[in-house]
Structure 1
Amino acid sequence: MNTNTPSVSVVMPVFNGANSLATAIDSILAQTFSDFELILVDDGSTDFTLEIIKGYVAQDERVRGFTMPHSGVAAAANAGLSKVRARLIARMDADDYSMPERLAQQVAYMHGHPEIGILGTRVEFGGNRETAAGYARYVDWTNTLLEPEELRLRRFQEAPFAHPSTMYRTELVERFGGYKTGNLPEDYELWLRWMSLGIKAAKLPSTLVVWNDPPDRLSRTGEQCTTDNFYKMKSPYLADWLHNNVSPDRSIYVIGASKTSRNRALLLEQSGVVITGWIDVDPNKIGNIVNGKRVAGREILDQEHCFAVAYLAGHDANDQLEEFLKTKGYTLGRDYILAS
């Protein structure tokens, strides 16, 4: 086996991925940038995954294969991270596809921008836009976020990257740890944790990964990816951001007085955020006392120039809210933050 230190370690955990694994591996082996190692971690598969991995290990000295008892994607990814030899790590999933220029473009950017720790790319949605319209809309949204400031300020809205498009520096794993296990979205948590520690992120404008959407994708079926677990995970990071970015003498209002918004705001309160009240447009709610706090109309934005945390469902609702907030002179990050 080649013992030279590669420039990039591509980490690909896989569980029962026999139907798509070869396509994903071939897309990495076909990269125009060839100075990499591909670390495949079989997470206790019960299909032919391990046999496929062994076949590629025998064919190409850049491929390294490992197996472990089934422990979940976070544990398998961490096992892969423990084997890397390069100073740059590229993540890849077994049901996705990397375009030939992916590694070349990401490596060039990372070498030219030492201040960036996490780098994604735009991705092509590999699902059915009619039957999975919501997921497709989410992918389109991630593709709008390119600059470090956009990613920094919009990271609490939803996960800002397609995980298999990311590349990051090995030193971040060494300094801050890898993926957390348990009932939480491990990729989103990793980015929020690192970015809360000041790590800058960016995204290439090139579309360099096909992000497929099979019916059994973990983000659809895994317990760790339920909506409740997303909010439980990200709320402490949002609370920390609010503590560091909102003056203590400025009142914080939550836009949205529905039960769902209130439950999400409760998670912030559990992390020490003081919420003054709710803002809603429903005249039947305005003036009521809910959970000990008054429901105000949007005029409170003029009266108090409060800081607003918005819990609204859907990108269209957030887009409309932002257009309205602009008319009030409110600026993202300075006067409000989107949290759903």
Structure 2
Amino acid sequence: MNDLSDVAVLMPAFNGQADVERTLASLRETSMVHVLIVDDGSAPPIVAPAIGGMNIDILRMPKNGGIERALEAGMTALAARGIRYAARIDAGDLATPGRFAKQRAYMEAHPRVAALGMWTHVVSTEGAPLFDLTPPTEPAAIRRTMLARTCFTHPSLMLRVDAVIEAGNYRAQYRAAEDLDLLLRLMQRHDGANLPEFGLFYELNESGISATKRRAQVMSTLRLQLRYLRVTNPLDWAGVVKSVAHLLLPYRALRGLKARLLKPASSA
């Protein structure tokens, strides 16, 4: 039941050895965990730590090309190895125990689901709780609100590898929004869902993509919203307005507002 032989963790990494080791140490499953680290041109190169119950491979990119190309290369490599499910996580984030087994079991029971996320605790780089992300869980609700709000935490996803390849894989066409681009294409033919329980501690880092590439990310999101806009769905229009507001308002102000609105009940 907990066999993970057809699952591989897909983790891109760039110059973050300590973060890689901390994340891998958090992966607690009852079966062997297979990991593919895509080293995106790190200097010095990422080294695979020795961790019991874990088989770790490293795919080295010839130079730093960005997370989009690293994920594309990683997914292509997993497909070539016959891996069925890719479990995403980023260096610095932590998984809850048994996350991958729970996701695999759900996807085995729901063959129409090609992308399965989990609820997420957002924490500071020191581990302090900031807020929680509890997006919709059912495919119909996700499809309805997909362009209005973030319905998936990218590092919490488990993806069907064959469906990702069929949809065109990750790509660099929408910089810093490669996850939304992929998910929108996947959901043309498949479903997306979230397990209604917490599976990830997501580290909100001021040097992360959401902060350092914020304008590119918002512009890419806006382009995707306009491309997939359903003119009769008010929520799609609300998403466009939200993206325009994100272009106009400072990042720290938006982060502070989100933290106040989504603060966990335990810290209220």
CA distance in 1, matches of 2:36, 2:238: 45
Equivalent residue number for residue 29 of structure 2:
31
What are the equivalent positions in structure 2 for 1:186-225 lying under 5 Å apart?
A: 186-195=178-187, 197-222=188-213, 225=216
Q: Return the TM-score normalized by structure 1.
A: 0.62
Equivalent residues of 2:35, 2:54 under 8 A apart: no
Residue 16 of structure 1: aligned partner: 15
1:236 aligns to 2:215 (yes or no):
no
Contact 2:120-2:201 at 8 Å conserved across structures: yes
Q: Is 1:162 aligned to 2:153, yes or no?
A: yes
Distance (Å, rounded) in 2 between the aligned partners of 1:194 and 1:224: 25
Structure 1 residue matching 2:221: 3-state secondary structure = helix
Alpha-carbon distance in 2 for matches of 1:61, 1:165: 19
Q: 2:31·2:53 contact (CA, 8 Å) conserved in 1? A: no
- 1:148 is matched with which residue? 139
Determine the C-alpha separation between the residues in 2 that align with 1:60 and 1:122: 26
Cα gap change, 1:22/1:121 in structure 2, threshold over 3 Å: closer, same or farther?
Answer: same
1:115 aligns with 2:109: no
**Helix, strand or coil: the match of 2:86?**
strand
Contact persistence 1:38–1:64 (CA under 8 A): yes
C-alpha displacement of 1:215: 1.4
Distance 1:44 1:38, change over 3 A: same
Q: Which one-letter code corresponds to 1:21 in the other structure?
A: V
TM-superposed deviation, 1:184 = 4.5
Aligned to 1:338: none
Decide whether aligned partners of structure 1 residues 96 and 152 sit closer, same or farther in structure 2, where only a CA change above 3 A counts.
Answer: same
Other structure's SS at 1:125 match: strand
Question: In structure 2, the residue corresponding to 1:62 is in which secondary structure?
Answer: strand
Query: Helix, strand or coil: the match of 1:177?
Result: coil
Shift of the 231–167 alpha-carbon distance from structure 1 to 2, 3 Å rule, reads same
Shift of residue 152 of structure 1? 0.8
User: How far off its partner does 1:127 sit?
Assistant: 2.4
Aligned alpha-carbon RMSD (Å): 3.2
Q: What is the SS of the residue equivalent to 1:208?
A: strand
Q: Which runs of 5+ in 1 are unaligned?
A: 247-253, 265-313, 316-340
- Residue by residue over 1:8-45, the C-alpha shift from the partner in whole angstroms, topping out at 9 and shown as x without a partner, is 021111011123110111223x32342x4200111001
Corresponding pairs, count: 236
Q: TM-score, normalised by structure 2?
A: 0.77
Show the counterpart of 2:251: none
- Tell me which amino acid in the other structure corresponds to 1:27: S
2:90 alignment counterpart: 93
Distance 1:194 1:151 in 2: 13
* Mapped pair 1:105 → 2:102: yes
Deviation string, structure 1 residues 42-71 (Cα, Å, up to 9, x no partner): 10012x452x33x449x7772111211100
Three-state SS of the structure 1 residue aligned to 2:196 is strand
- Matched residue SS, 1:24: helix
Structure 1 position 93, deviation (Å)? 0.5
- Say if 1:98 and 1:184 are closer, same or farther in 2 by CA, change over 3 A: closer
Instruction: Tell me the secondary structure at the aligned position of residue 156 of structure 1.
Output: coil
Distance 2:54 2:134 in 1: 34
Deviation at residue 225 of structure 1 after TM alignment: 4.3
Cα contact 2:167–2:182 (8 A) shared by 1: no
2:124 to 127, 131, 143: 127
**C-alpha distance in structure 2 between counterparts of 1:103 and 1:236, whole Å:** 33
- Residue deviations 1:121-177 (CA, integer Å, cap 9, x gap): 11111128xx997xx4xxx4x414111111111110133111110001111122111
State the secondary structure of the residue aligned to 1:90. Answer: strand
Give, in whole Å, the separation in 2 of the partners of 1:149 and 1:117. Answer: 14
Deviation >3 Å, runs of 4+:
223-226
Q: Which amino acid aligns with 2:59?
A: F
Report the Cα distance in structure 1 between the residues aligned to 2:207 and 2:192, rounded to whole angstroms: 29
Over 3 Å counting, the alpha-carbon distance change for 1:144 and 1:78 in structure 2 is closer
Report % sequence identity. Answer: 28
Provide the rounded CA distance (Å) in 1 between the counterparts of 2:145 and 2:42: 36
Aligned amino acid, residue 71 of structure 1: G
**Partners of 2:238 and 2:153 in 1: how far apart?**
28
